[in-house]
Structures are given as C-alpha cells and as structure tokens.
C-alpha cells in the first residue's frame, strides 16, 4: 500500500469523526499513564475526516527521546476483516519516537516529516476503507521516494509499543471496545521488500532501535536471503562434541539446492573448524573463487539444509563424498584444494 493524494474538500464538507467525551478522557488518561505526561499538543486546525491531535511527551531520564502520540484516529472504526472482529482491532492510535535533539518546532521538511507521517497514517484507513494492525507496512509513495532530503527512509511498518510495557498496547473504552496503540518504524525500501518476503518479526529482529534515525542504513542491504530462518533451525546434532565450523556455498543456503559434493580437510590449528566443505556440485571456479558466494556456518545449520550429510560427518580428515545418479552419497578420492 502507498499514500495517495487527497482530494480538496470545501469547508462545509468537513464533519470529522470524534471521540465521545468519556472516550476522549479514557484515551488521554491512557497516553499519560503509559507513554508519559504531555503538556504540549499539536492541535489540528482543519479536520476533514477525523480530528487528529498529536501529544508531545518530552524526553526524560527514563526515556531519553520524544514520543509523539496521535489522539483522535481511534474515533474512526476501521474496516477490519470479519474473521478478526472478535479481537477488537477496529480502533487504533499511533506513536513515533524521535531523538532528544529533534527540532520539533521546525517546519522544515527535514524535521517535520515524522509529524506529517503520523497524520497521513492516521487518515489512511478511513480514506482507503481498510485497516491497520501489527506488521502492516505502507510505502510513502509509488515509486518509493524518501520522506525528506536528509534520509533514505521511505516507508513505515507498524510494530507494538514494546518499549512502554505490555499494558501500553491497549486502552479499554467505557463501552467495552478498545483502542490499540501501534509504534511506527520508518524503514527503507529493501527492508519493506524483506518484510513482505518473510514477516514483520524477522525484520524486527534485525532492527536494533525504535527511535527514528534519519541517517540509519538499511539492515538488509547486502544481506543474503537464506532459505531457512533462524527460528527454523533445529538441533540435529545433539551429540556433536568437536569443532562445528564449516564452509558452504550459497547454492545450498540461499538457492536451496541439496549438497552434491562435500569433503573434509584438516583445519588450521586453533581454528574452531570441523574441516567440512559443502557444495551443490554445479559451482564453477569463478563461483567458488568469489568469497561472497559462500559463508561460514555451524555443521548443525547445514544438517538442517540437508539431513543426508549427517551420517558422514564423523568421517576422518581427507574424506570426500559425492552423490551418484541415484542421489546417494558415494566416497570419492580426496583431492586437496589448490590456492
């Protein structure tokens, strides 16, 4: 999804959705209790659909960053799929965290874009008859363009407000409904593609901070798209006691090929290396000569990619095995690699 330009409306067309008084009081109390007291609010002057103010929580000793929280998005009930209605996800508010030296009163786009992002995201579900939930991502434009000239960040993903504790995520309302609070994480284009190819949890594990850094580099740039994720690796060598390091080409760990050839050489002294080297069998000299096409792994990782290698791992140094036409490993003469 990406942001679309809004059509201009006449002033007489404005009839914004707003919280009932008791709902507003509950939301205000929740923000103050869970995110921090706020003396300042960016009040919205013109409200075409929802009245969305932004609460400003100043940096403190406990939390050395600004926290901006929307207040008003939750007056609109989002179009949540029928099968999820029981989870009370129709209402939401958003927050974003900024460094303590952020110039919050500067309306230059280099400083203002997080506020613009909050407001645009708050209106997105209503304008597009859709909904937001954990892990959803939205591109700022199509094709992707950075939010401002001082950053390459160009999209956003919704996370949970983990830094503020579990109870910060949901505000109960007097009528029994709930307002869900989501933390906005601005991301790069390739990070968005990574998240869509995997899942939000996988991307979150790579992101090391939730406070916006306009100069942050992509955490997935140059990262290999491994066929197995860390959560999928099982302990298949529980009794292995020796050094576990090994080399394996990307044809196996990235492209998903089975091991077609492997050999075990004697490792250098003092190196935690099992001596095993794994290949798909179709790599040429140019491929294997490029160190970017292989990586160092634990034997257990390769055993997860191809369990057929497990019975041979105790073979002595100087052993080599290749698959025959029936797919079974057969011992082959060992030829030490040349430099």
E-strand ranges in the chain read: 40-42, 53-57, 66-71, 91-98, 137-139, 155-159, 170-172, 178-187, 245-249, 261-264, 273-279, 294-298, 319-323, 329-331
- Contact status, residue 73 vs residue 101, Cβ threshold 8 Å: no
The pLDDT of residue 142? 66
The whole-number pLDDT of residue 241 equals: 87
Question: What is the model's pLDDT at position 4?
Answer: 47
* Distance in angstroms (rounded) separating the CA atoms of residues 268 and 266: 7
CB 257 within 8 A of CB 280: yes
Instruction: Identify the CA nearest to 94 among candidates 169, 4, 19.
Output: 169
pLDDT digits (tens, 9 = 90+) for 247-258: 999 999 999 999
Average pLDDT, the chain: 91
3-class DSSP state for residue 83? helix
Residue 134 pLDDT: 96
**The dihedral sign for the CA sequence 245, 247, 253, 256:** negative
pLDDT of residue 11: 45
The pLDDT assigned to 337 comes to 72
pLDDT tens figures, 10-66 = 545 557 899 999 999 999 999 999 999 999 998 888 778 899 999 999 999 999 999
Residue 206 and residue 192 in contact, taking contact as beta carbons nearer than 8 Å: no
Confidence (pLDDT) at 68: 98
**Beta strand pairing status for 245-249 and 273-279?**
parallel
pLDDT at res. 332:
94
- Pick out the chain residues at pLDDT < 70: 1-14, 142-143, 338-339
Using CA of residue 85, residue 26, residue 132, residue 182, what is the dihedral sign?
Answer: negative
Q: Measure the CA–CA gap between 64 and 62, rounded to whole angstroms.
A: 6
Let me know: does 57 contact 35? Beta carbons within 8 Å: yes
Beta bridge partners of 320: 263
Q: What is the pLDDT of residue 339?
A: 59
């Amino acid at each position: 999804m990406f942001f679309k330009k809004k059509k201009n409306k006449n002033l007489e067309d404005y009839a914004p959705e707003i919280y009932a008084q008791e709902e507003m009081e509950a939301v205000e109390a929740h923000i103050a209790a869970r995110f921090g007291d706020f003396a300042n609010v960016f009040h919205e002057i013109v409200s075409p659909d929802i009245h969305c103010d932004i609460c400003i929580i100043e940096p403190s000793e406990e939390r050395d960053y600004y926290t901006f929280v929307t207040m008003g998005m939750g007056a609109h009930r989002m179009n949540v799929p029928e099968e999820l209605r029981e989870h009370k996800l129709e209402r939401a508010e958003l927050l974003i965290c900024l460094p303590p030296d952020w110039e919050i009163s500067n309306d230059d786009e280099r400083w203002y874009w997080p506020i613009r992002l909050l407001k645009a995201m708050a209106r997105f579900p209503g304008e597009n008859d859709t909904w937001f939930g954990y892990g959803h991502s939205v591109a700022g434009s199509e094709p992707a363009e950075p939010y401002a000239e001082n950053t390459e960040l160009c999209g956003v993903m919704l996370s949970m407000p983990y830094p503020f504790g579990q109870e910060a995520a949901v505000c109960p309302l007097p009528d029994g409904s709930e307002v869900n609070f989501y933390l906005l994480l601005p991301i790069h284009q390739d990070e968005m593609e990574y998240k869509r190819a995997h899942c939000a949890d996988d991307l979150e594990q790579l992101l090391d901070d939730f406070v916006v850094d306009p100069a942050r580099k992509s955490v997935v740039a140059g990262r290999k798209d491994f066929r197995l994720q860390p959560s999928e690796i099982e302990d298949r060598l529980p009794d292995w006691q020796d050094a576990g390091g090994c080399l394996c080409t990307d044809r196996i760990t990235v492209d998903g090929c089975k091991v077609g050839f492997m050999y075990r050489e004697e490792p250098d002294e003092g190196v935690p290396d099992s001596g095993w080297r794994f290949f798909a069998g179709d790599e040429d000299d140019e491929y294997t000569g490029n160190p970017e096409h292989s990586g160092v792994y634990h034997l257990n990782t390769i055993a997860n990619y191809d369990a057929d290698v497990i019975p041979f791992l105790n073979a002595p140094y100087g052993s080599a095995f290749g698959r025959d036409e029936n797919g079974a490993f057969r011992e082959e003469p060992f030829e030490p690699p040349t430099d």
